[in-house]
Structure 1
Amino acid sequence: MSTQCPFCSVQCKINVVSEPLPSGRFQYRAEGRMNAASEGRLCVKGQNAHQHAMSRERVLYPLAKKDGKFVRVSWEEAVSTIAERMGAIQREHGRDAVGVYGGGSLTNESAYLLGKFARVALGTKYIDYNGRFCMSAAASAGVKAFGIDRGLTNRLSEIPETDCLILVGTNIAECQPTLMPYFNRAKENGTYLIVVDPRETGTTAIADLHLKVRPGTDAALANGLLKVLLEERLEDRAFLRERTNGFADVEAHLKGLSLQDISELTGVSEASIRKAAIAYGRARTGMVFTARGVEQHRDGHMAVRAYLNLILAAGKIGRPGSGYGAVTGQGNGQGGREHGQKADQLPGYRLIENPEDREYVAGVWGIDPAELPGKGVSAYEMMELTVSRDIRGMLVMGSNPIVSNPNAGVVEEGLKSLEFLAVADMFLSETAELADIVLPVTSYMENAGTLTNLEGRVLLREAARPAPGEARHDWQWLCDLAARWGKREKFSYSHAEEIFEELRLASKGGVADYYGITYERLRQEEGIYWPCPSPDHPGSQRLFEESFAHPDGRAQLLPVDNLPPGEDVDPEYPLLMTNGRLLPHYLTGVQTRRSPSLTARAIENVVEIHPSTARRYRIEDGALVRIRSRRGTAVVRSKVTSGIREDTLFVPMHWGGIQNVNLLTNPLLDPVCRMPDFKVSAVAIEPWS
């Protein structure tokens, strides 16, 4: 069976081989299939992804909660119940009393259709998705600085060619491990590698310089790097003069900042800041990658802008071996945000409040632009609206918000207060357990569609096996549900390719233009970079070679303030906690915790704590500990390690219940992109008894 890994943004191609056993049953193994991104490699998650798809825990038929217990019902009853209950809520409280919550692992077709379904069938303005927590800071920064947001401005294959690499808040070794050979080859070629991370990781292990930054001070560190770059006269004045705006304001702002103050705030020595800046500035070519470590903060947008200032000042973009990359976390984190799941967007990265964009997409959908609702709110803000009862019914598709949102205790309270909750999932996730109706959906092995990897390369994933039980594709039940609201003619598709053909047209002329991409081309060419405006266009492998995507063709620099962490320590909460991922698991673990091979590698959650800190709080290695914040309490097992700052704790994000790190996290939102401040929470730690 030929398929594509459902997990990270590399989107590795896979062959799943079945082998008969003497018992008459089959065992399965996965092999990497050659492709341009992973070059045929698979990580441990890809090698075992088929285990969750074939799990006995799969939801195989619709479930309805009756008398507090789930019972099997027909698809007819399930869809009718959703239509009746949500319809009743909207009739009594208005169209916006129902919200839709999507996911960043959905195919482009499902993401597109979910956005259309919310706006056309339900008529609600409240739709957003868990990708808000993935790349919204980098996406908004890219749009403001460059005029366009695409994960990488150039190709993965250019990594070994560059002279200097800066990785900020990204642990490639555990989050995108099949990309590590690119960085290893770069090292072999003499590339100077700088990694910014408060922890020692598999990625920092290969670094020439590790900047162990204090969580929440990334913008200040970037300002320090740029200040040194300018002091050493390593900026590209010709590039700045000919291709950018705003540099004079940035230069004046930096003159008023003290490198000593930046060092004290960030916890990185002046010598190290200077060494990193000079290495990047003197390099002939350079690339900078950011990920959640720099983005999931109350100033994540501006922190990324600070690094984009550095790139633009050095003139290291738009040419071979030089560029910027926002390392997408989710499998379709890139495509999922381009075609209408975000509160403010329409397909093709069009804006729902732009009259021309509304008119164009409404024309494709065959409706009056006035029928389109306006802009809603971000994912976490939707959860707040469930608490306030502004949202009384919700449809959740491909996501587990009770675990993935910050301030998870409040999120659980809100979801429990809903008058009606429907969840479409393969498993009874923590969120699905609260639902009134659970719809069984197909896995990555069973549904066809396109996904867009971290490069901006659109890939086609074919269905490899029939759907088990009564599981249905997302587009099938969405069309059935739309028909119940009298919208059958707007949702009359017979297969995924028909949806993609409409997506092509809806994106035509937009920032994320897929019009020139077809299933047939994808089968022949493996993958095509967007923007691709016509069927004879080869796809845009490298952006900004001649101009940026703003109307004047110039990039925009902007002064960035040095801010302290969004929540600082005090005597009651004396430590900073950050969070992240582990190699064997993905997101909230709904899929990977159903894989015996992956679960065995990380059975329970842990907190990384420095030996000195552990001694101070009487924490023994391997002991259960209680972590408290102003929002809640979690209980996890301790892991004493010298590879973390003494003032910092690290807790992974893959578990629910009492092990859920997001019971502790800070819901403070970035004012620009509405990204929560996942990476900095003031906490206390103590032995659990």
Structure 2
Amino acid sequence: MNDLLKHFREKQKQLNNEKIMNTQCPYCSMQCSMQLIEERIIERMKYKVVPNKMDPTSQGKLCIKGLNAHQHVINDKRITSPMLKIDGEFVKITWDMALEIIKGKFKSIQEEDGFDALSVYGGGSLTNEEAYMLGKFARVALKTRHIDYNGRFCMSSAATAANDAFGIDRGMTNPLSDIPLAKCIILAGTNIAECQPTIMPYFLKAKKNGAFIIAIDPRETATTKIADIHLQLKPGTDWSLVNGMLKVLVEEGYANKDFIENRTHGYNDLQQFLCNIQLTDIVEQTGIHEKQIRLAAEMYGKANSAMVFTARGVEQHVNGNETVRNFINLCLITGKIGREGCGYGAITGQGNGQGGREHGQKADQLPGYRSINNMEHRKHIASVWGMNEFDLPSKGVSAYEMIEKIDRKEITGLLVVGSNPVVSNPNAIFVEKSLKKLNFLVVVDMFISETAQLADLLLPSSSYLENEGTMTNLEGRITLRNGERKKPGEVKHDWEILRDIATILGEGEYFNYATSEDIFNELRVASRGGRADYAGVTYERLNNKEKLYWPCPNSDHPGTERLFSDQFAHTDGRAVIKVIATTPNREAISEDYPLYLTTGRVLAHYLSGTQTRRSSSLNSRYPESHIEIHPLAAKKFGVKDKSFVKLESKRGSVVVRCKITPKIRRDTVFVPFHWGDIQNINRITDPSFDPSCKMPSFKLCAVKISPF
């Protein structure tokens, strides 16, 4: 009977021209796996998405974005051939012509303005192979120090904090399976119910197991609904709130003296600092009652197991790095890290936000999470690449600082791969103005995004269904994504485009790759011995469904599921506790600009919306942006529900539809960031950035509102 059913199924496939593709969602850092069934019925294509019940991360779940991810792939607005701008219009050209144009323009810029006048802007959704290759391409093929990526705006605060505190940055110190074991959970500045919905079951299971959940957010969200206590603080005061909790923990005897003495540095300075601060001052700064601060601290302190999670709500500030350090202090002074149900996690945003920051896309970084300023690190990478370490360019600048250099005409050529900086950067009006000053802008994308509209040359890239490669999810687990769908038209993979450009520039010997696996095998060697060690990870092991977390130093190693069980990654094995005493240098509200603006996501969209706005199902749910405002604030400023309003800061203005809700503080408004043009909220956000990690202040600026 089984043979008969199998035969019938095969016949059905042949008759209906059915194709089953194993893949994973291209959006958030959960990287949920699934099957896409593509079936031709007469002349119409039908698509069905089936979650992978065996997925160890998503456990067979998909959110609305994953269920409809294929829609942007089949959108008829996809770019399928190179396009050159002539007299303001894009015209299709051949790849040979496109490469010759790039060669001429890049060579001319190098000769006239210098090698560092060329720059590369990458993305956190590229595969590990392409992120690795992009960093190598910039430094070897272009010989420029100017490369950075949009992950600078996503994970840089948490990454810097983790590196400084622990000696290593992996978004989560524990596997997701530890979450249900925690008896207290802090969710700070994260709306996982909309941003990473398939992680929610872990927290719901923890709650069912008796966990006390503390949510810290100026808004009521689908995530705060699961909390036992919601601390609805003033935007940008998280660092102060944590100081209050730390003070209570120390004074009430919840500090773990053995752990502090044997595994950390810096506690005495923190203890002295906490003696000199007053909870009354913290209440005034944060707007949170003292009873709530004490309750949150005591519930965390007395729990046998506890976990702390942060996300962009606390990280995208001018003091985002220090705020995260303070949340890490909670883990360190109580010893709640390095064991089951105890640890810290930065909820990674982009699909490969973790892997994308490990292998060389950042201005200061080389593969394996090595430092470009370290001579031993440079020597190792140079030996892998077959060059002299003195020929490697030095450290560049952050993503927004590259835009500033473009504005000053210190950078005159730019290659953008997998990003949309006109929408994703702060002070977007300035960004657009600056990009128009470039002598040559090349954009690699699937669509004519807001950034691509400014390009001189567009190059068509492949989708997640077509492009094979590895990704690293939010818990540090490496996955292998298949590319089983045929590329349409003249589309190429990003790595193929980079290889072809390098070849025409005369550097092809360094980029002799035939497959993504070729690149990965070089990445393994390059990362060996680094903080992010992938040396023991292979396509074969991933195809065999081994659950591999980095560091994984050799082929016999099972991967490191939980970090810091015995020691931290600093040379002395200890973690560093740091006093966070600085007042944030934030843009204050005033009579002219009386409201705080904070930004974030909605369930149906992702990042700048370049892909999700090309999905009919997703875009129909959220076809336009909106502003959330409290009823009393709406009345004060004369704006009506569902009407259009004008929101202004010192940098510019946007027009969005009004949504009146009691679920936000009276002094705060919220706007999502998935739209461009006049709805682009980053037209008005503050470009001031954290001095240590260069994270802009996306989550806090002063604004005024009026009817439109």
TM-score range, shorter chain: over 0.9
Q: Aligned partners of 2:270, 2:194: CA distance in 1, in Å?
A: 35
For residues 21-36 of structure 1, the aligned pairs below 5 Å read 21=41, 23-33=42-52, 34-36=54-56
2:509 corresponds to which of 489, 504, 508: 489
1:334 corresponds to which of 332, 354, 357: 354
Q: Aligned partners of 1:541, 1:468: CA distance in 2, in Å?
A: 39
2:365 corresponds to which of 339, 345, 350: 345
Query: Does the 8 Å contact 2:125/2:418 carry over to 1?
Result: yes
Q: Which moved more, 1:622-631 or 1:77-86?
A: 77-86
1:529 corresponds to which of 549, 572, 577: 549
Deviation at 1:612, TM superposition (A): 0.4
Check if 1:411 corresponds to 2:456.
Answer: no
Q: Could you tell me which residue of structure 2 aligns to residue 576 of structure 1?
A: 596
Query: Does the 8 Å contact 1:216/1:565 carry over to 2?
Result: no
Q: Aligned partners of 1:365, 1:562: CA distance in 2, in Å?
A: 43
Deviation at 1:565, TM superposition (A): 6.0
- CA offset digits 1:202-227 (Å, max 9, x no partner): 00011000000111111111111111
2:690 corresponds to which of 653, 661, 670: 670
For residues 26-425 of structure 1, the aligned pairs below 5 Å read 26-33=45-52, 34-425=54-445
- SS in structure 2 at match of 1:590: coil
Q: Could you tell me which residue of structure 2 aligns to residue 5 of structure 1?
A: 25
Q: Aligned partners of 1:91, 1:610: CA distance in 2, in Å?
A: 56
Deviation at 1:563, TM superposition (A): 2.0
Q: Aligned partners of 2:655, 2:409: CA distance in 1, in Å?
A: 30
Query: Does the 8 Å contact 1:196/1:211 carry over to 2?
Result: yes
For residues 377-526 of structure 1, the aligned pairs below 5 Å read 377-526=397-546
Q: Aligned partners of 1:279, 1:68: CA distance in 2, in Å?
A: 61
Q: Which moved more, 1:366-375 or 1:522-531?
A: 522-531
Q: Aligned partners of 2:436, 2:584: CA distance in 1, in Å?
A: 35
- CA offset digits 1:290-337 (Å, max 9, x no partner): 000000000000000011111100100000000000000000000000
Q: Could you tell me which residue of structure 2 aligns to residue 552 of structure 1?
A: 572
- CA offset digits 1:70-93 (Å, max 9, x no partner): 000000111111121011011101
Letter in 2 for 1:561: A
- CA offset digits 1:420-454 (Å, max 9, x no partner): 00000000000001000000000000000000000
Q: Which moved more, 1:215-224 or 1:354-363?
A: 215-224
- CA offset digits 1:554-603 (Å, max 9, x no partner): 00011001524611101100000000000000000000000000001101
Letter in 2 for 1:45: K
Q: Which moved more, 1:374-383 or 1:554-563?
A: 554-563
Q: Aligned partners of 1:603, 1:559: CA distance in 2, in Å?
A: 45
Deviation at 1:232, TM superposition (A): 0.7
Deviation at 1:477, TM superposition (A): 1.3
Q: Aligned partners of 2:585, 2:603: CA distance in 1, in Å?
A: 27
Q: Aligned partners of 1:263, 1:562: CA distance in 2, in Å?
A: 16
Q: Could you tell me which residue of structure 1 aligns to residue 583 of structure 2?
A: 563
Deviation at 1:512, TM superposition (A): 0.2
Letter in 2 for 1:538: P
Deviation at 1:484, TM superposition (A): 1.5
Deviation at 1:680, TM superposition (A): 0.3
- SS in structure 1 at match of 2:490: coil
2:560 corresponds to which of 520, 540, 561: 540
Query: Does the 8 Å contact 1:565/1:680 carry over to 2?
Result: no
Q: Aligned partners of 2:239, 2:103: CA distance in 1, in Å?
A: 47
- SS in structure 1 at match of 2:221: coil
Q: Could you tell me which residue of structure 1 aligns to residue 644 of structure 2?
A: 624
- CA offset digits 1:511-550 (Å, max 9, x no partner): 0000000000001134310000000000000000000000
Q: Aligned partners of 2:131, 2:584: CA distance in 1, in Å?
A: 36
Q: Aligned partners of 2:153, 2:354: CA distance in 1, in Å?
A: 12
Deviation at 1:258, TM superposition (A): 1.2
Q: Aligned partners of 1:402, 1:526: CA distance in 2, in Å?
A: 40
- SS in structure 1 at match of 2:246: helix
- SS in structure 1 at match of 2:244: helix
4+ residue segments displaced more than 3 Å: none
Structure 2 regions of 5+ residues with no counterpart?
Answer: 1-20
Q: Could you tell me which residue of structure 1 aligns to residue 14 of structure 2?
A: none
Q: Aligned partners of 1:384, 1:595: CA distance in 2, in Å?
A: 33
Aligned-residue identity in percent: 57
Query: Does the 8 Å contact 2:160/2:321 carry over to 1?
Result: yes
Deviation at 1:18, TM superposition (A): 2.4
- SS in structure 2 at match of 1:144: helix
Query: Does the 8 Å contact 1:217/1:562 carry over to 2?
Result: no
Query: Does the 8 Å contact 2:318/2:584 carry over to 1?
Result: no
Q: Aligned partners of 2:181, 2:356: CA distance in 1, in Å?
A: 30
- SS in structure 2 at match of 1:159: helix
Q: Aligned partners of 1:320, 1:181: CA distance in 2, in Å?
A: 18
Query: Does the 8 Å contact 1:141/1:301 carry over to 2?
Result: yes
Q: Aligned partners of 2:582, 2:213: CA distance in 1, in Å?
A: 25
Q: Aligned partners of 1:585, 1:191: CA distance in 2, in Å?
A: 30
TM-score after normalising by structure 1 = 0.99
- CA offset digits 1:147-196 (Å, max 9, x no partner): 00001101101111110000000001000000111111111110000000
Letter in 1 for 2:50: E
Check if 1:685 corresponds to 2:705.
Answer: yes
Structure 1 regions of 5+ residues with no counterpart?
Answer: none
- SS in structure 2 at match of 1:600: helix
Q: Aligned partners of 2:662, 2:103: CA distance in 1, in Å?
A: 55
Letter in 1 for 2:48: R
The two structures, once aligned, show a CA RMSD in angstroms of 0.7
Query: Does the 8 Å contact 2:480/2:543 carry over to 1?
Result: yes
Q: Aligned pair count?
A: 687
Query: Does the 8 Å contact 2:319/2:584 carry over to 1?
Result: no
- SS in structure 1 at match of 2:291: helix
